Amino acid sequence: MSKLENKIAVITGAASGIGLACAKRYVQEGATVVGIDRQACDDWQAITDHAPGSCLHQADVTDSRELKSIVDSSIVELGAVDVLLTAAGIGDGGPVNMLDEDAWDRVIDINLKGTYLSIKAVIDQMISQRSGSIITVASVEGINGTEGGSAYNASKGGVVLLSKNVAIDYGRLGIRCNTICPGFIETPLFDSVMDAMPDFKADIKKQIKLGRFGRAEEIAGAACFLASDDASYMTGQSLVVDGGYTAGHSHGIVELMGLV
């Protein structure tokens, strides 16, 4: 039996990167997926062909009425919401003295407020059915700071703690909430940021203990686990999937000792 057989999942940011990879994995595992994204995506045709009840809605996660309307209509059509995965997000930032207020608001609105609004859109249904798995997507930069990452890091750190509170508030009602903290994953967002800074990209790669950047499909594997019954006793946790980036510092000592 597939891990997500007959489950109904809502995924934000489902048109690209991690969200798209999760949508593909979820339908492979037997789920019906309601995707939400500001943009369309040709790849979704294969998803809907594989899982006919699945669909992609074009909407903004900062629009609470639009989110609630999509979720409510999906509940009427499909009967439940078993899983929420919040993958919608943007990257922006800079040192505080160089970051204008509009840029700060935009990052916080999409990354943090958008997560809150997505949870708010599904939580009443999960309460009524006394079950549900909420999976938020934060970042290793929500756990450890990074140079120039003020707004992004603050938004992702907020997602980590918001998720812990959701786990505390709703656990007795059968609702689990966990966070995935990806490391540096090769996605369109990653490429747009890193291609302009090749030296910085090379330096980051040196600190990844597995020696490579991650793939969106590897985050989808973690998201599938958290959505499944295999994670039935797991809530309030931040699952770091980063190739060992946050394990500690490397200084070339083991190479000098011949471990290459």
- Measured at the CA of 169, the angle between CA 165 and CA 172, to 5 degrees, comes to 135
Contact status, residue 183 vs residue 243, Cβ threshold 8 Å: yes
| DSSP 8-state secondary structure symbol assigned to residue 111 | I
How many CB atoms are closer than 10 A to CB 226? 24
Catalytic annotation present for 152: yes
Query: What's the CA gap between 203 and 206, in Å, rounded?
Result: 5
* Catalytic-labelled residue, pool 152, 170, 233, 245: 152
* E strand segments, 73-149: 83-86, 132-137
Contact status, residue 189 vs residue 89, Cβ threshold 8 Å: yes
How many CB atoms are closer than 10 A to CB 1? 7
Q: Could you list the active site residues?
A: 152
